[in-house]
Structure 1
Amino acid sequence: MGHRIHRRGMLKGSAWLAGAAAVLSGANAARAEASGEPVPIGQAAPLTDFAAADGVEFRNGLIMACDEINALGGILGRPLEPHFEDTKQMGDATNVQAVQRLIDRYGVHAVINGYNTGSGSAVQDAIADAGIIYMHNDTSSGHGVLIGSDPERYFGSFQTDPSETWYGSGLLKFLSSLTDGGTFAPANRKLAIILSAGTYSSNIANVVREGAAELGWEVSLYETVNVPISEWGPTLSKLRQDPPGVIVVTHYFPADLAQFMVQFMTNPTPSLIYMQYGPSVKSFRDIAGPAAAGVVFSTVIGALQDEIGLDFEARYKARFGDDAGHNSGVQSYNAAWIWAAAAALAGGSGAPGEEEQNRKVAERIRAMIHRGPNGTTRFMPGEQAAASYPGGTDDPSLGMPHQFLQIQDHTAEPVLIAPWPYAKAGFITPPWIRG
């Protein structure tokens, strides 16, 4: 009891007590702690295999959110009880099976995931059949297409980050801002695009390829690699034969990207290197070491380097260790707070089969503008995916920021270099180009 009261007091003094946390605290004002019948919630995450570095953090983020929500009284006095299923190598069939186990074994009221690779539009049917809520960060345009095809059936499915297509258009605009402003002078106007065969990577790569010419870029290489991959020799040979001004890698496994940098640095080309998402995971810097310095990457869902984001990072690392990946953990953490606040406002959450109550929860989610550690979450009508800033809106208070970061010191956290008003440092020319 003493620990929980102390925990509640600590949260009330935190920069994080905004948005959903403030709503929940108000709804539970008369409750010192959650002590009623538990509300089971679930997560299907890649806890083993190649994406485990992210999957473990997705689990940690949900555990931390549940503990903090329970310290504020849970959902109208009912504590959250998280359950987990491993999606291993992922894929639609495996992902659906894991979610179905959560529903059948535990009767979860909501499934709150990070990402799982696949089509991004398979789990939603299991959720719709159960009539519960689904929050995920698959970063998939397929989600929005599915919701638009039958919004009545898929009322309870929400993507708590923008779709992957914003990565491609956002990158081209970012490159223009560097070159037009004189911050970076590329060796030439050639773009080399390296992708993996999955929908996520190819969708981003295609947006870059289709929009490059309009902004004065020539696509000199469009190379698809089989993943996971540790030997980049054939691809690097092509890059060295015709060095581009910019190398764009839309594959995103941290270990694979780290090996690319280690092998690239044995004979680097004078090319700016942009990589997709993977460098946001600490294992990328651990594996790449000094070869990581200079890499630019982006994320549409990472924790900001502002008061709320840094407060979250400090609490997350205090809980899970200095090496914990807060940029992955924030994904499920943020989603859990949104769902919990909406459930409290709706008068409670619903178990499988209690669709009427969960429709009330979904209505609250759709109406919410939530400020969390990763910026603003506001769901786009007809898509039920988070709006993107600055691509989808020019108002930073109405969209989740598409963050561009650079590793300027491989022993330190990457620095946020765009967009305004969140940037904390300027772009620096990578050391292999400076010489």
Structure 2
Amino acid sequence: MNRDFARGSRAFRGALLTSAALVSLAAATPSLADTVKVGLLVQLTGASSADGQEIVRGAEMAIEDMNAAGGVNGDTFELVIGDTKDGAAGDVALAVERVLSDSDVHFVLAGYASLTGFEIDDMREADMPYMLAGPSGQTAGIISPDPDAYWCCWSLTPSFDAYNTDVTLLAEDLAAEGKIELPNKKVALISSDNAYSNTIHDGMVKQFTDNGWDITVDEVVPFGEVNDWRTILAKVRQDPPDLVINLDYLPANSASFMNQFMEDPTDSLVFLQYAPSVPEFVELTGENSNGVLYDLLGGVLNTPKNPRAAELNDKFKEKYGVESGTYGIGIYEMLNVYFDAVDKVGDPTDHEAIGKAIGETSKQVAEGRLEFDPETHLAKQGDEYFPIQFYQIQNGERVLIRPEQYATGEFQLPPFMKMDE
């Protein structure tokens, strides 16, 4: 059979229908399996392998905990991994085929598989319950035209709209509070050419422009490994802005950027998208990371007001010797949402009932209060659900500075910035 793996096209997804049909037949079988397999789409060998290792650990920990407790209604669980490598469409399509071709797989999950979310349609065609935590704009764009048709598919990630707007608002709030100065309201904006970063970039351009900021640098680098940022940083230093933003979410790339920024830092607030939440980032930057800001939507809300997060953080660190970033605990919670659905439905092979039960979830999880928007199938966003969280790295530690009701510390002026006396 010829397969076009180049861009995850509809033609390739059609080539998966034979495997999908086998899974659908398995789903119709009324008897319960003794061992229920769970498919995991994960970047094990690509540029995001640090995330991938954490994701596998979160899945393993959830399954081990459930199996040790006797499983659900007597059934135990087993992991089947599909390596999406660097997240290229062909690699994701192969990983999808790998998990869907196993007739004992009755649920699939991913931190992020493709950045366009095309695999959501594969899951729909296979009648396979699926949870992900990838780019929410792409997920909502696929599901919102016909939400009922996508009973299968739900996202732990809320709307990314706050990513587009709230960095601008944070900088302006910090200035209004006298914690920083914005003498020129200039911003240097650097992005990576992928769907996730591009969507946030476009939203930020609009928000900064609407709020009267001058975008002095607007650069996009190719997606993938980037080791040398010095040409772009030279442009930043020619007209030092109040705020420097890099939306390249790969930890190694972001760490290289920060290390090279610190070779001759400008008097600028530095915001980096997502990457500082990964433990690898601080290991690669050391003291150079102090003062860096980042935000999370759907991130672990590790504060005294959310003891669930502290419980899972402690468990993860005790088991693996390192702290979890966003995805280890996120995957753990996604699996527990699935286990709840299996317990409610009683039959893991009743895929449609399982998918609908996932959508009815209402519970406190490590990220906040989890309920799903019925129109987009995204986790609901807001202070009463999943709030946007702003962190600052201070002496190698991640300190939550916003929202104030959950904050574990206060903003500190970065060591590379100064305030006029």
TM-score normalised by L of structure 1: 0.85
Q: Which amino acid aligns with 1:429?
A: L
Whether 1:319 and 2:316 are equivalent positions in the alignment is no
SS at match of 1:153: helix
Q: 395, 407, 415: which is aligned to 1:409?
A: 395
Counterpart for residue 174 of structure 2: 178
* Residues 294 and 407 in structure 1, CA contact (< 8 A), matched pair in contact too: yes
* Residues 278 and 284 in structure 1, CA contact (< 8 A), matched pair in contact too: yes
Q: CA deviation at 1:269?
A: 0.4
Mapping 1:205-244, distance limit 5 Å: 205-226=201-222, 227-244=224-241
Counterpart for residue 142 of structure 1: 138
Q: 365, 378, 383: which is aligned to 1:385?
A: 378
SS at match of 2:378: coil
Q: 411, 415, 418: which is aligned to 1:431?
A: 415
Q: Which amino acid aligns with 2:203?
A: V
Q: Which amino acid aligns with 2:237?
A: R
Whether 1:155 and 2:129 are equivalent positions in the alignment is no
Whether 1:201 and 2:197 are equivalent positions in the alignment is yes
Q: CA deviation at 1:143?
A: 0.8
Mapping 1:290-305, distance limit 5 Å: 290-305=287-302
Q: 45, 50, 57: which is aligned to 2:47?
A: 50
Q: CA deviation at 1:92?
A: 2.5
Q: Which moved more, 1:68-77 or 1:38-47?
A: 68-77
Q: CA deviation at 1:117?
A: 4.1
CA displacement 1:336-366 (0-9 Å, x = unmatched): 111111221122222xxxxxx2222222222
Distance in 2 separating the partners of 1:106 and 1:43: 14
Q: CA deviation at 1:208?
A: 0.8
Q: 127, 132, 148: which is aligned to 1:131?
A: 127
Mapping 1:24-39, distance limit 5 Å: 37-39=34-36
Q: CA deviation at 1:74?
A: 2.0
SS at match of 1:400: coil
* Residues 57 and 324 in structure 1, CA contact (< 8 A), matched pair in contact too: no
Mapping 1:247-266, distance limit 5 Å: 247-266=244-263
Q: CA RMSD in A?
A: 1.8
Q: 142, 155, 160: which is aligned to 1:164?
A: 160
Could you list the structure 1 runs, at least 4 aligned residues long, displaced by more than 3 angstroms after superposition: none
Q: CA deviation at 1:370?
A: 2.2
TM-score normalised by L of structure 2: 0.87
Residues 106 and 176 of structure 1, relative CA distance in 2, 3 Å threshold: farther
Q: CA deviation at 1:36?
A: 7.3
Q: CA deviation at 1:170?
A: 2.4
Residues 360 and 216 of structure 1, relative CA distance in 2, 3 Å threshold: same
Q: 77, 86, 100: which is aligned to 1:80?
A: 77
Distance in 2 separating the partners of 1:177 and 1:105: 52
Q: Which moved more, 1:68-77 or 1:420-429?
A: 68-77
Distance in 2 separating the partners of 1:181 and 1:434: 16
Q: Which amino acid aligns with 2:161?
A: T
Task: Give the aligned length.
Answer: 384
Q: CA deviation at 1:402?
A: 1.3
SS at match of 1:81: strand
Q: 102, 113, 116: which is aligned to 1:119?
A: 116
Q: Which moved more, 1:51-60 or 1:224-233?
A: 224-233
Distance in 1 separating the partners of 2:363 and 2:134: 19
Task: Give the gaps of 5 or more residues in structure 1.
Answer: 1-34, 351-356, 390-395
Q: CA deviation at 1:245?
A: 0.2
Q: CA deviation at 1:207?
A: 0.6
Q: CA deviation at 1:422?
A: 1.2
Q: CA deviation at 1:324?
A: 4.3
SS at match of 1:433: coil
Counterpart for residue 360 of structure 1: 353
Q: CA deviation at 1:176?
A: 2.7
Distance in 2 separating the partners of 1:88 and 1:106: 23
Q: CA deviation at 1:165?
A: 3.4
Q: Which moved more, 1:38-47 or 1:74-83?
A: 74-83
Whether 1:268 and 2:261 are equivalent positions in the alignment is no
Q: 327, 343, 363: which is aligned to 1:370?
A: 363
CA displacement 1:161-180 (0-9 Å, x = unmatched): 12433311222232232222
Distance in 2 separating the partners of 1:158 and 1:422: 26
Q: CA deviation at 1:268?
A: 0.5
Residues 308 and 55 of structure 1, relative CA distance in 2, 3 Å threshold: same
SS at match of 1:421: helix
Q: Which amino acid aligns with 1:293?
A: N
CA displacement 1:23-72 (0-9 Å, x = unmatched): xxxxxxxxxxxx97011111010011211000011111111111222233
Counterpart for residue 64 of structure 1: 61
CA displacement 1:8-31 (0-9 Å, x = unmatched): xxxxxxxxxxxxxxxxxxxxxxxx
Distance in 2 separating the partners of 1:176 and 1:83: 47
Distance in 1 separating the partners of 2:200 and 2:413: 24
Residues 377 and 170 of structure 1, relative CA distance in 2, 3 Å threshold: farther
Residues 165 and 97 of structure 1, relative CA distance in 2, 3 Å threshold: farther
